[in-house]
Structure 1
Amino acid sequence: MALVNIPISSIVGSGICVSASDGQKVYAILQSVVVRGDRAQLSFSGITRMTTAFLNAAVGQLYGEFSESVIKSHLAPPINTEPWHLSRLQLVVERAKEFFKDSDRVNKAYVASTGIDDEKDS
């Protein structure tokens, strides 16, 4: 199993990681590393701004595709992190695990509280 360094700021093209579309670029690389059977290590070097929307797209959606044990075995601890990077990453991971554990319940609660049903609206 090879260790693959994934420099987020190089993939995004800057240290500003706020859009889900940029997160999707990181996800595509992470997903391919996991499928290949290698181990990915995210580098947060140079990241000056980062939203949970970006992290949901980059990391959170892995939990909808792979089991937690697969993710743990194929994601190395991130490097070049600051405390705020880690706290946002931890928040996203916890929310993703909860969501994908019972996404129907979460969707029903969302519709009940907002009145918005994305599945009916599309």
Structure 2
Amino acid sequence: MHPGVVVSALRRELTAALEGLGEDHLYDVLLVMTELVSNVVDHMPGAGRLRVLLSQVPCAVTIEVDHDSATQPVYGRSRLPNDNRGRGMVVVDNLADTWRTRPRTGGGKTVFASVSC
């Protein structure tokens, strides 16, 4: 399946699951999710796993993406040859209250970002 189709489907599902959020907050959450998932699709071998956690008090949405690569995200430039993108983590950094990585037991890592309401 084409990566754009995967991301579009995830955006639709997340929009439906978070229907109670305000429009601006939902837009920020969708953009952060899109960037984190796109990094896995573009840069990592194999499949990833997406989790979205909604906290009511304080109101926040945390997006977590697991994958098998331990390679850390690059801030502000792409690892792909001849690619001028590389601004995905800059976007995440600007929209999220916090973002980090943590190692996974058995290898790989989780990249997560939290967007408050």
For the pair shown, the structure with the greater C-alpha radius of gyration is 1
TM-score, normalisation: structure 1: 0.26
Q: Which has the larger share of helix?
A: 1
Task: Normalising by structure 2, report the TM-score.
Answer: 0.27
